[in-house]
Structure 1
Amino acid sequence: MSFFDRLKGSHSVTAADEDQGPRDHKDEPYETTASAHDSDSEMISQDAQTGVQKMEATTQLWTRNDLIFAYVWIWVIYFVNSMQQTMTNSLTPYVTSAFQEHSLTAAVSIMSSIIGGLSKLPLAKILDIWGRPQGFAIMVFFMTIGLIMMAGCNNVQTYAAAQVFYWVGYNGVDYSLSIVVADTSSLRNRGLMFAYISSPYIITTWIGGPIAESFLNGPGFRWGFGTFAIVTPVVCLPMFAFFLWKLRQAKAAGLLPVRESNRTILQSIKYYAIEFDVFGLLLIMSGLALFLLPFSLYSYQAKGWQSPLVICMIVFGILLLIVFGLYERFLAPKTFIPFSLLMDRTVMGANICAAMFFVSFYIWDSYFISFIQVVQGVTVIEASYIANIYSIGACFFSIVVGLLIRWTGRFKWLALGFGVPVTMLGIGLMIKFRQPDVNIGYVVMCQIFIAFAGGTIVITEQTAAMAATSHQYVAVVLAVESMFSSIGGAIGSTVAAAIWTGVFPQRLERYLPADQKAEYLTIYASLETQLSYAVGTPARDAINQAYGDAQRYMLIGGTSVLVVALAAVAAWRDIKVKDFKQVKGRVI
């Protein structure tokens, strides 16, 4: 999708803009106009795609109560989804352990992270070409299918496939609603509104753990997934109906231009294949899957890294990624984002920051819940609370960051002076503190540091990406940024799995008493087996020490990659967003 040539006509920033002082304007919570037709700035964008035009037309007719209802119900949907996501994260180690494959906890998330992230690229086109309601409904369907599959899975392979459906749907619902927020908020307030819709995590963190434990101790994990397979579509239906109702009003008011494609079925297939860049998506998804999966699966091959299967997957993965880059650069009839804009230092810096932050997070977080249960001896509920300090702190502090951006009109100073450095500090301290016989309070302290800094990074990187374009291209810019995040998460999970499979079983065999060394593979495969050894016994001490060794390598890796994120943030332009009017109609 080409939009670099529209930047001068939108709100891209030149050197003069960077030093621009505040303008005189009335500071009101809602930006409105008396009539949609009184000003050219409020006319529907004639060259925009259909989905963008539909949203612009819809917001022209929204009342204040419509806007309030939309934001309240978006919060409700986020509340329900974040509650079941917290529960899912707590249940995953028990699901993989139930099939004697606890070591695949990280591997299960690799394909779901890759596909979940890349799916936002075609979803961005669905939202822009067909409309926001259609994309939202499709993603709710995928999430529901994933929950149903998780409820009925009988092996870890089925569970992994279910995770793909679930994360495509979950990320898609989250993304669709975030685009609606971007459609209905000014750029100066957008960080604050993104923080608002993420705030349910502050509450659901305390609920997800007890829900997970109650299902584990009661009807089982299958009923946990099955319950939300019913609740999720029911909660999302009112929002979908609201979208369609307001869109119908906009059509009745004649705000939307009439479009007729006059294409045949075959012409339509060709058109959408080009618009969705189907060939490019297949190349990058196949390349990333082939390249990343061997790092977590090599230990299951007889020859390890020397296995022909592992070598072939890595080589062909790299080749496909190279072909993807060449295809997108020289042959693709239509790309999601032109190279000229992608290489803009603010856009690329935001994408690299997002990728490195997720690489770091998934390296040190992949086995964190298992670690604190085994080494620190906490319950499932307590483990859920500790592991989700990040969600609570990040969501809380992101509100503060949103207010600071609204007040100062700038965002770079927050990321460069606080977000990335404090994240590095928190992870670096855990190299020392996330070990056996260290008080868990130090771990909690580090989690708080990382949480506040993480909330800062997430809001500022999204604001940076959106500040470089107009409303027409907000969806695709956020999709690319999200793709970098998800790929970073997949890489982080891959590195974590490689460290885990390469360090934990070997150290476990080394530390176990001589009469129990033969059991090391059974212990390695199951979290419940690890917890079955009494605290203070030689076997439990050996398990704890093996955990500590693996965690040390993970934390060193997670700290190191953030040096790249710091350089990426330093490359951002210091854009002032306070006076931007990027969207039309009644907005916050």
Structure 2
Amino acid sequence: MGLFRKASVTHLYPDDAIRHELEQQGDTKTAFGDKSPGVRRIEAISKCFTSWHLYVLFISIFFVSCEWGCLLLDGFVRFQFQTYAVASFGLTAQISTVNVVRGIVAAAAQPAFAKISDYFGRISILFIAAMFYVVGTILCAASKDLAQFSGGALLYQFGYTGIQLLVEVIIADTTSLRSRLFFSYIPALPGVINTWVSGNVVNAVLANSSWRWGIGMWAIIFPVLAIPLLYCLVHAEIRAGRAGYLDDIPSPFRSLSHASLWTDVFWQIDLVGLLLLAASFALILLPFTLAGGVASLWPTARIITPLVVGFVVALPIFVIWELKFARHPVVPFRLLKDRQILAGLTIACLLNTAWYCQGDYLYQILIVSFDRDIISATRTQNIYTFVSVITGVSLGLVVRKVRRIKWFVVAGTSLFVLAFGLLIRFRGGKTSDYAGLVAGEVILGLAGGLFPYPTQVLVQSAVQHERTAVITSLYLACYSIGSALGNTIAAGILTNTLPGKIQDEFVLHGINNATLAAEAYADPYGFSATWPMGTPQRDALAAATRETQRLMCIAGICISSLLVFVSLCLKNPHLSDEQSFENAEGREESIMEMT
């Protein structure tokens, strides 16, 4: 029997109250009928596969994983090149500022891409996302200052976010609940290799060129490696068209000149809500990274004003808009009444908030305090990905048999807390040890394989197929919000602690040179290259960096402790052979059953 079976199409609502609530939330109607044309299109494409064609599909998914592996490798090395790029502008402490901007863009872009792809289809929006990726990469490589680099990073992140989301949504579109965890890890599998080669790539590029080429080369590599993915999807759509499955599905592209289409799209993506959400997070989070380590900057207007506007104006307006005026809110409050969804989104946010407390400046401490070379530091930073992918793939096979997930998630969150305890002990302070740091990252990776992707599957299981893309986008958006929060916390600790620690350590090491201390803070990589380990200057910087990192890990363990409690609030459904549960959201809809 094939992977997919044609399912009946029904629209049963338990009672008029639920139907009225759904209509009030804007979940039942679009300009093209009861179901978005993009969702109908992917369902029609899925129906054209026989058993033999499904094997071809999963071979294509393998090529998708190769292309996605390109993105993983890009993500690995781009983070390091970004570090050198910001350092070259003399603004190393502003690494988190760039990351916060990227996190804000990612959080706002996830729901937008999900809803637009529901309308215009996965393929066309994937192509548009790829264009943003390439243009943003080129702008980053050609940037002359932090402002230009941040602008390019914004466009790059917008494209990267769209690609990441659409790959996950396509996997969710075409897999059963019991198999989804395993297939969700296919795009991440190349990370097993990239962990070990990314350091060589960074080292080779910096030895023979500069960070500009290290970033810019992806504008060439990515489009070439994206061909298998695009070919697979286009070929599947052609087959569906020839089979007649697309005949009764309206094409929004043929209605681009109609004002009614754009009005409907405006409300569907909740453009006002997205802008208010992005503005709220930008106004609230960026001042913490921009204040720097100088206490006198905090009372200034450029720090106080955005904080006040963010908390008092932008955030309340966003909540009022979502509750009272948005027809299709970015935050679907009806769905958030389900504790499975609410707990899952909270886990996504807390996970990345805690992780970035220790991950944002991990590369810096490896170079500055542990005296690792570029290859070793890059590999160490990527240990988390390597271990989490191996663990996650193995867990995916186990879940196919046991069909339960919750207690794996609980175990993962508990290990997460243990890992932070090891990092506090061995990564910072006077008793730091490289072997202990690696052990902490390995356990962090084990935890990372046990609960982030499994939680995503649990969240997806709580909705019908029509809202799979939206709920996935919200889950990934919470990831991005967590990233921005973690970046902000890390930057706040670093900018308000490290300058003073450096000066204190310089005094303890018999160095009375404020200018040199400022140089060490502004460009620790250049400073470390000038002053080798064993010199008082380098030892002072290393000690100050370790103590600052210890504080970051303490913040991380406090946040990660909340994960254990939230994971206990998850439900533990028996995962079925269907794309979604028939009774998800309290009603039955069109579903795709899997064997």
Q: Structure 2 counterpart of 1:559, which letter? A: I
Would you say 1:529 and 2:492 are equivalent positions?
Answer: no
Cα deviation, residue 65, structure 1: 3.8
Match of 2:404 in 1: 410
Match of 2:8 in 1: 40
Q: 2:511 aligns with which of 511, 514, 531?
A: 514
Match of 2:547 in 1: 549
User: In the superposition, relative to structure 1, how do residues 167 and 494 fare at CA in structure 2: closer, same or farther (>3 Å)?
Assistant: same
Cα deviation, residue 581, structure 1: 4.4
**C-alpha distance in 2 between matches for 1:284 and 1:154:** 30
User: In the superposition, relative to structure 1, how do residues 129 and 301 fare at CA in structure 2: closer, same or farther (>3 Å)?
Assistant: farther
Would you say 1:391 and 2:388 are equivalent positions?
Answer: no
Q: 2:250 aligns with which of 216, 239, 259?
A: 259
Q: Structure 1 counterpart of 2:118, which letter? A: D
Match of 1:79 in 2: 69
Q: Once the two structures are superposed, what CA deviation does each residue of 1:171-210 show, in whole Å capped at 9, x if it has no partner?
A: 2212111111111111100001112221111111111111
SS of match in other structure, 1:461: helix
CA RMSD after TM alignment: 2.1
Comparing 331-340 with 577-586, greater Cα deviation is found at 577-586
Unaligned runs of 5+ in 2: 12-27, 581-589
Unaligned runs of 5+ in 1: 1-27
SS of match in other structure, 1:110: helix
Cα deviation, residue 447, structure 1: 0.6
Match of 1:344 in 2: 338
Q: Once the two structures are superposed, what CA deviation does each residue of 1:283-317 show, in whole Å capped at 9, x if it has no partner?
A: 11001100000101112778321112211111111
Query: Residue 408 of structure 1 contacts residue 578 of structure 1 at CA under 8 Å; is this kept in 2?
Result: no
Would you say 1:164 and 2:154 are equivalent positions?
Answer: yes
Q: 1:315 aligns with which of 290, 308, 311?
A: 308
Query: Residue 61 of structure 1 contacts residue 585 of structure 1 at CA under 8 Å; is this kept in 2?
Result: no
Match of 1:277 in 2: 270
Query: Residue 90 of structure 1 contacts residue 209 of structure 1 at CA under 8 Å; is this kept in 2?
Result: no
Query: Residue 405 of structure 2 contacts residue 454 of structure 2 at CA under 8 Å; is this kept in 1?
Result: yes
Q: 1:206 aligns with which of 187, 196, 200?
A: 196
Match of 1:6 in 2: none
**C-alpha distance in 2 between matches for 1:263 and 1:155:** 39
How many residues are paired up? 554
Match of 2:226 in 1: 236
Q: Once the two structures are superposed, what CA deviation does each residue of 1:48-87 show, in whole Å capped at 9, x if it has no partner?
A: 2111111111111121343133212111111111112111
Query: Residue 337 of structure 1 contacts residue 476 of structure 1 at CA under 8 Å; is this kept in 2?
Result: no
**C-alpha distance in 1 between matches for 2:460 and 2:250:** 28
Cα deviation, residue 40, structure 1: 2.2
User: In the superposition, relative to structure 1, how do residues 510 and 206 fare at CA in structure 2: closer, same or farther (>3 Å)?
Assistant: same
Cα deviation, residue 42, structure 1: 11
Query: Residue 274 of structure 2 contacts residue 330 of structure 2 at CA under 8 Å; is this kept in 1?
Result: no
Correspondence list, 1:420-499, <5 A: 420-435=413-428, 438-499=432-493
Match of 1:31 in 2: 3
User: In the superposition, relative to structure 1, how do residues 232 and 587 fare at CA in structure 2: closer, same or farther (>3 Å)?
Assistant: farther
Q: TM-score normalised to the size of structure 1?
A: 0.90
SS of match in other structure, 2:512: helix
What fraction of aligned residue pairs are identical, expressed as a percent?
24
Query: Residue 4 of structure 2 contacts residue 46 of structure 2 at CA under 8 Å; is this kept in 1?
Result: no
**C-alpha distance in 2 between matches for 1:522 and 1:581:** 56
Q: Structure 1 counterpart of 2:43, which letter? A: E
**C-alpha distance in 2 between matches for 1:260 and 1:425:** 52
Match of 1:182 in 2: 172
SS of match in other structure, 2:161: helix
User: In the superposition, relative to structure 1, how do residues 269 and 448 fare at CA in structure 2: closer, same or farther (>3 Å)?
Assistant: same
Q: Structure 1 counterpart of 2:231, which letter? A: A
Match of 1:59 in 2: 46
Q: TM-score normalised to the size of structure 2?
A: 0.89
**C-alpha distance in 1 between matches for 2:250 and 2:68:** 34
Comparing 419-428 with 222-231, greater Cα deviation is found at 222-231
Match of 2:373 in 1: 379
SS of match in other structure, 2:291: helix
Match of 2:14 in 1: none
SS of match in other structure, 2:245: coil
SS of match in other structure, 2:468: helix
Query: Residue 60 of structure 1 contacts residue 584 of structure 1 at CA under 8 Å; is this kept in 2?
Result: no
Cα deviation, residue 252, structure 1: 2.9
SS of match in other structure, 1:561: helix
**C-alpha distance in 1 between matches for 2:546 and 2:532:** 18
Query: Residue 465 of structure 2 contacts residue 579 of structure 2 at CA under 8 Å; is this kept in 1?
Result: no
Cα deviation, residue 117, structure 1: 2.3
Cα deviation, residue 166, structure 1: 1.5
Query: Residue 108 of structure 2 contacts residue 274 of structure 2 at CA under 8 Å; is this kept in 1?
Result: yes
Q: Structure 1 counterpart of 2:269, which letter? A: F
SS of match in other structure, 1:119: helix
Comparing 62-71 with 358-367, greater Cα deviation is found at 62-71
